[in-house]
Amino acid sequence: MIPLIKVKLGEEEKNAVMDVLNSGNLAQGPKVKQLEEEFAQLCGVKYAVAVNSGTAALHTALYTIGIKPGDEVITVPFTFVATANAIMMQGAKPIFVDIKEDTFNIDSEKIRNLITEKTKAILAVDLFGHPCEYDKLWNIANEFGLNIIEDSCQAVCAENNKGEKAGSLGDIAAFSFYATKNLITGEGGIITTNNKKYAELAKRFRHHGQSEQTNYEYRNLGYNYRMTDIMAAIGLCQIKKIKEMTKKRQKNAELFTAGLQNIKGIIPPIIKNDVIHVFHQYTIKITKDFSLTRDELIQRLNKTGIGTGIFYPKPLHLHPHFSKLGYKEGDFPVSEKISKEVLSLPINPHITEENIEKIIKVIKEVGER
């Protein structure tokens, strides 16, 4: 079996976890602090605040920039549900905007029409590890006085074409360290920012709104979003390996793209504007021109022992939870079309070159028939 996702931890992680267990300090402690320092450095920002999931990171980010009930936040329907749910956790409304067909990311051309007096922020998702067009987003944000939040849950170590890292491209960013992401701690997440006030508010929010100065004095509503030192110890080992693991993903993507070029009805993912794409997923599109339907291809691949994934099978606005907000089929035609075409292939750092060739061969064989 060639699984879509393969996670391999080393002796380093096991030893690091044992050290924490032996220390007796299981809650948020020195390892979390060290993780924050090293992760901030990795992203080229001044501050990082660790929390216990990517969802918590998004919620915290929205809180720190002051999103309140009644506000509107612009985001995409073609993303993981947590992006839009975090907006609703602050009592605000997700205002969906369609994506671009080539990068799967937010279509900045379509944002202006959606801005109202209630609009406070743009929540941009660096989907599959390809950063959004932040230059264009900043032009809009500056014109209308909006904040930009980066959902970089899939984009650790991604960069724009000026060498600026994901996590430093908005006012504040959210990352996930969930068990299948590029950098993992099991569950876990972190926010990054250059804004000291946002970092302080985030620390308050993750611990019940407790004052920075006085223990057991609470200034506002907060949550228990704290990370543990056990998680942070794994994260610190992962930071040491992330550059190498990312290079493997990029190399794998190159092999796939070279092999899947010029097959009728198969469109490999692109890297636009010379950004650094970190390929959390390697997602091809299967159009009507291909000899099989997507389902037939999946079946063929599965029969050969090749795992695949569909991210995401249905855009958010078509789920009952969001259609209640007034969205309906036809509202976001690109997201709707793309969700029927996408197929993610195994790109994890542990897949062998031979297995990549095997996957390409299966697709080519059925494609040429």
Ligand X SMILES: *Cc1c(COP(=O)(O)O)cnc(C)c1O
Interface with ligand X by CB under 6 A: which residues? 53-55, 79-80, 82-83, 125, 151, 153-154, 176, 178, 189
10 Å CB burial of residue 314 (0-12, 13-18, 19+) is middle
The residue with its CB nearest to ligand X is 54
Q: Decide: 253 and 260 in contact? Cβ < 8 Å.
A: no
Partners of residue 224 on adjacent β-strands: 207
How far apart (Å, rounded) are the C-alpha atoms in residues 60 and 195? 14
How far apart (Å, rounded) are the C-alpha atoms in residues 32 and 17? 13
First vs last Cα of the chain: how many Å apart?
A: 25
Least distance to ligand X, CB of residue 65, Å: 17
Query: In this complex, which beta carbon is closest to ligand X, that of residue 147 or of residue 281?
Result: 281
Our separate counts of H helices and E strands in the chain read 11, 10
Give the Å distances, CA to CA, from 36 to 55, 80, 170, 174, 240.
17, 25, 18, 13, 14
Least distance to ligand X, CB of residue 85, Å: 9
Least distance to ligand X, CB of residue 27, Å: 19
Query: In this complex, which beta carbon is closest to ligand X, that of residue 13 or of residue 151?
Result: 151
How far apart (Å, rounded) are the C-alpha atoms in residues 50 and 312? 27
| Cis peptide, bond prior to residue 218, ω within 30 of zero | no
Partners of residue 49 on adjacent β-strands: 191
How far apart (Å, rounded) are the C-alpha atoms in residues 305 and 132? 34
CA 105 to chain centre: 11
Least distance to ligand X, CB of residue 289, Å: 29
Least distance to ligand X, CB of residue 242, Å: 16
Query: In this complex, which beta carbon is closest to ligand X, that of residue 85 or of residue 355?
Result: 85
How far apart (Å, rounded) are the C-alpha atoms in residues 43 and 48? 9
